[in-house]
Structure 1
Amino acid sequence: MNSEPDAGKKLAPMARCWRWFQANIRSVSGPPPMVLDRPVVPATVFCDFDGTITPVDTFDLLMEDAYGDFWRRLKGDLLCFRVTLREAMDQLGAVLTARHLAAMERRMATFVPRPGFLRFLDAMDRAGIPVVVVSGGFLPLVEAVLHEHRHRFRAIIAGLPVPQNHGGTRHHVHSPYSSEEELVAKALVMEAYGQGHTIAVGDGITDVRMAAAADTVFARDVLAGLLTERGTHFHPWHDFDDVLRLLMEMGLVTPPGP
């Protein structure tokens, strides 16, 4: 693969992403600098991406298409807790190619946020509540969907695949917030960026520790089942209008005027 004449073209999207990462390091690494006169905010929203901001679990969909049986076995091991999230991402990085990543980015660009999400962002802007996107997936795939709205987030945190050879036939997935068991340790992100009342919105296994650390939790799908098993209180949600409605009831967000 190293000898292919278009190897440089395959690496181009990853190179652009790496340059972006370096230019915006404070948005995806940390902890952020302490600012003594930083204004106090009433709350901070920490929002998962795949299956939460997107209407389907896009990461699962893309991995299924690219890696088939390999991904199905790995996902089964994850859901049965036979491997950690960090181990799973290491295994994915070992098979991730520049060609696959570029194809995934192109496909992700065809997805749009879940209905109601942009209205939710509008309401958070009005309320002065920052939103942090924290994904257990790959940063280039998150950026493919959210790049037009990036300025509206306090930060976007996700794993960054860094090519390990010239041909881009394998990658190391880097995260500035990692733990022994998680490549993207969402609870650590909450420690770094959380102000005021912490709100977690998620749907999957990567959100369990984030939910345990949050003051208020919105859960659906796999996450709702896991939290039910653990006895962790959460609010079920179908769309972001549900999330916004409860935040209004809690007094964290003021209903829009007529």
Structure 2
Amino acid sequence: MMRRQRRREQHVRQTYNDTAARYEQTDEGLLEPETPTERTHKTQQKAIVEATSANAAANAWRKALPKGPYGINVARTGRHAVCYGAGGRVEVLDLHRNVRTAEVRCGEVCRAATFLHDETMVAVAQRKYVYVYDQDGAEVHRMAKHLEPEHLSYLPFHFLLASAGHAGWLKYNDVSTGQFVAEHNTKAGAPRSLAQNPQTAVLCLGHGNGVCSLWSPAQSKPLARLLCHRGAVLIQCPSVRTPSTRRRLGRV
């Protein structure tokens, strides 16, 4: 009788520990499907607004952006966002007030954009070079060594701007002094995605052969290579606990 009671208590304790560990590993702001066949990418914005509180739903808004497609990058503060499109239009938005604070007409395709130390400086990856604009939309700097950039990432604690180009080169530039820091040849062709680990400032490059490579400006070779998918790695979400990737067919 006592053995049965002991086994029951051990089972309950193990179940409790597993449940607690699962909830500790859950990140905020993610959609969890209710069934294994449900796809979260099919969830519409209307359904998300209806599931939130009245105060949160009041902050929902919609903005029409012609001459797309567009990409978006949100600042670390969460208040400002930069939108960039294939038509050459770059906008800086104040998400709290739903107003446009800056606009730049580049006249050529914009493949990526990111904020620098604050929302007053924006780096834009255009057709041939990387350009830096201020809050008035004036061109401040042109990085001629960053040829044919496709992805950008800013390391805020190191004041480094990194770009991944079409030729497969990963390049770093110090925005505080304007000096070119390093360049690494990935030897994997044009990268499909670029993400940054905010805890370690290590950059993760996703390639067309399904490999993710980790890079640091101090080393010319990747810190690690991971075979994640059979197809191209299009999206990455690096994290110390649970890094995740997404390939073309939607598998995570």
Bin of the TM-score, shorter chain as denominator length = under 0.3
TM-score when normalising by structure 1: 0.23
Structure with the larger strand share: 2
Q: Where is the helix percentage greater, Structure 1 or Structure 2?
A: 1
TM-score (normalised: structure 2): 0.23
The higher-RCO structure (CA 8 Å, 6+ apart) is: 1
